[in-house]
């Protein structure tokens, strides 16, 4: 049985970070945060389990990629080798016996230097979110331009963050099916008549964002998993190794698409704005 949750909890305690503070910053329900630290990952919504664990790790200064790999192994998602989280050292009480109530994790850096790195990271995230907000305000307030022949210029689509997806939208429907595809896997995103914004995450690589204009396309290669967050879905086609991905409906709202190369399945989740 993996002790991933114990090590994460011990790291948070050593950093003196309260769960309520993490809940306030990430908007993740406190019960879900407690479930992570109890190792009850099955309690978390399957749609957001990786997002919640990643956000939690960022808040406490842990490596989210290592944590997600160990969680995948614990849940039987993949058979890759475990990348260990640093071993813990148990504190010793005055009587010379180990204290079983808490655990600490050995650190390569002093706590004050890790806290400084954490503060820098949070600052960068805040600046990024503020920049996205400013861009949205500029785009939303920019008047439409019209040509002499009354043809309206193409409007710029808006990016969607994971937290906006959670707070501003609700899951409308989920469809899952299989495709007869063989590796090596390739994915293609094609914009038909208007702009399309998307963000992709291939295997364990960093996310990539892009905007495709009319009749443009982008290509990707992946080994096990390919995740796409796209907005909107009414002007786009997605292909997996030459086959069009099914279940992708034409809507003016975002959708999440997961291509699972291990199971050869496609999962499409459509979202609608909260009322």
pLDDT of residue 72: 85
Of the listed ranges 98-102, 174-178, 243-247, the least confidently predicted one is 98-102
Per domain, the residue ranges of the chain are 4-108, 162-273
If you write DSSP's letter for every residue of 232-256 in order, what string do you get?
-STTEEEEETTEEPTT----SS-EE
Q: How confident is the model at residue 151 (pLDDT cuts 50, 70, 90)?
A: very low
Question: Where in the chain does DSSP place strands (E)?
Answer: 88-89, 104-105, 169-178, 185-191, 196-202, 208-212, 217-222, 225-231, 236-240, 243-244, 255-260, 265-273
Calculate the alpha carbon distances from 164 to 92, 132, 156 in Å.
45, 12, 18
Q: Where residue 11 falls among pLDDT bands split at 50, 70, 90?
A: very high
> Model pTM?
0.48
Q: Would you say 118 and 17 are in contact if contact means Cβ atoms under 8 Å apart?
A: no
- The three-point CA angle 36-31-91 to 5° equals 50
Predicted pLDDT at 204: 65
CATH match of 4-108 with 3.40.1710.10: no
Residue in this structure with the two tokens 């069009």, named with its chain if needed: 244
Residue range 188-244, pLDDT digits in tens? 999 998 899 999 988 767 788 899 998 899 999 888 899 999 999 988 999 999 999
Q: What is the pLDDT of residue 155?
A: 57
Is 215 within 8 Å of 192 (Cβ atoms)? yes
């Amino acid at each position: 049985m993996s002790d991933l949750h114990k090590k994460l909890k011990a790291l948070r305690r050593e950093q003196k970070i309260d769960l309520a503070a993490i809940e306030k910053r990430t908007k993740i329900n406190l019960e879900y945060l407690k479930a992570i630290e109890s190792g009850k990952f099955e309690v978390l919504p399957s749609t957001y389990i990786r997002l919640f664990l990643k956000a939690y790790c960022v808040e406490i200064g842990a490596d989210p990629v290592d944590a997600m790999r160990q969680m995948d192994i614990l849940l039987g998602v993949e058979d890759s080798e475990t990348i260990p989280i640093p071993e813990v050292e148990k504190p010793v009480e005055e009587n010379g016996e180990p204290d079983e109530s808490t655990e600490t994790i050995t650190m390569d850096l002093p706590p004050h230097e890790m806290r400084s790195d954490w503060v820098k990271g949070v600052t960068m995230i805040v600046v990024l979110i503020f920049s996205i907000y400013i861009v949205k305000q500029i785009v939303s307030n920019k008047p439409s331009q019209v040509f002499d022949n009354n043809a309206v210029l193409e409007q710029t689509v808006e990016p969607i963050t994971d937290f906006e997806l959670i707070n501003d939208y609700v899951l409308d429907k989920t469809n899952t099916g299989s495709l007869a595809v063989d590796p090596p896997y390739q994915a293609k995103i094609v914009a038909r008549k208007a702009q399309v914004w998307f963000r992709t995450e291939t295997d364990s690589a960093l996310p990539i964002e892009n905007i495709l204009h009319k009749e443009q396309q982008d290509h990707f290669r992946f080994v096990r998993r390919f995740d796409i967050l796209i907005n909107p879905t009414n002007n786009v086609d997605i292909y997996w190794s030459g086959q069009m991905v099914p279940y992708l409906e034409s809507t003016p709202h975002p959708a999440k698409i997961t291509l699972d190369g291990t199971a050869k399945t496609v999962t499409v989740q459509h979202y609608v704005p909260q009322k």
